[in-house]
Amino acid sequence: MDYRRILLKLSGESLMGTRQYGIDEVRLAEYAVQIKEVAQMGVQIGIVIGGGNIFRGLSGASKGFDRVKGDQMGMLATVINSLALSSALETIGVKARVLTAVRMEPIGEFYSKQKAIETLERGEIAIFSGGTGNPYFTTDTGSSLRAIEIEADVMLKGTRVDGIYTADPEKDPTATKFTDITYDEIYNRNLKVMDLTATTMCKENNMPIYVFDMDTVGNLKKVISGEKIGTLVHN
């Protein structure tokens, strides 16, 4: 096992499962079970979830919402998802704590690095919601920031796709998959892995990113066990 402490980034869209909108209870339960498996292996787990299944600030801005208010709505969407995940975890006997980037007691506790690390060291799952607390930053950047702050060994980016490809595999059948790639190559090839702010933060702080398919049950454990099922991004 390579990883003692991880930051797991989950996409809001994935939480929709087979639905068009909102939270699919089946997918949520699958995620909770996968997270429990890894926690039982002794791995400390911090989690950031996107809010795209409920509201995306950027698409809101394109529909006439004020960008700052749109991003704030997106931050609140991540809090809803975080509460749902913490509830699903607690249902199967896993202690979880929601920390928010904006003060929101009693919904969650206000984030601090110290609180986050104390939570992890107690063996509880720390769920970081509200992004960075600022507009114009995505939850990808929020994940990069939290991964660096909690001194995670890796940032695991769980997506619908099983890694990084030369092109979008859902659109281009000739796309080929990388087993590993550098941050610079992502930039030079203009690959849409994360937004540039997030990628640059990881590059500058030497935070490896592992992109894998989280929607296939059992994959999270495979990643932690060292199976090469996704793509590693590194300097």
pLDDT tens sequence across 148-201: 999 999 999 999 899 999 998 889 999 999 999 999 999 999 998 999 999 999
Backbone angles phi, psi at 12, to 5 degrees: -60, -40
d(CA 58, CA 24): 23
Residue for token pair 């660096």: 148
pLDDT band with cut points at 50, 70 and 90 for residue 212: very high
pLDDT averaged over every residue in the chain: 95
The mean per-residue pLDDT over the stretch 12-25 comes to 94
Domain ranges of the chain: 5-234
pLDDT band with cut points at 50, 70 and 90 for residue 235: very high
pLDDT band with cut points at 50, 70 and 90 for residue 1: low
Q: What is the pLDDT of residue 197?
A: 94
Q: What is the pLDDT of residue 109?
A: 98
pLDDT tens sequence across 78-129: 999 999 999 999 999 999 999 999 999 999 999 999 999 999 999 999 999 9
pLDDT band with cut points at 50, 70 and 90 for residue 62: confident
Pairing assessment for the beta strands 164-165 and 125-129 based on DSSP bridges: unpaired
With contact defined as beta carbons under 8 Å apart, do 32 and 94 qualify? yes
pLDDT band with cut points at 50, 70 and 90 for residue 64: confident
Q: What is the pLDDT of residue 63?
A: 81
Closest CA to 224 of 49, 46, 38: 38
Closest CA to 125 of 74, 73, 51, 49: 49
pLDDT band with cut points at 50, 70 and 90 for residue 31: very high
Could you give the dihedral angle defined by the CA atoms of residues 27, 198, 204 and 125, in that order, rounded to the nearest 10 degrees? Answer: -30
Q: What is the pLDDT of residue 147?
A: 98
pTM of the model: 0.95
d(CA 113, CA 135): 21
On whether the 5-234 domain is CATH 3.40.1160.10, my answer is yes
The mean per-residue pLDDT over the stretch 12-41 comes to 96
Q: Which residues contact 192 (CB under 8 A, 6 or more apart)?
A: 168
Percent of the chain with pLDDT over 90: 90
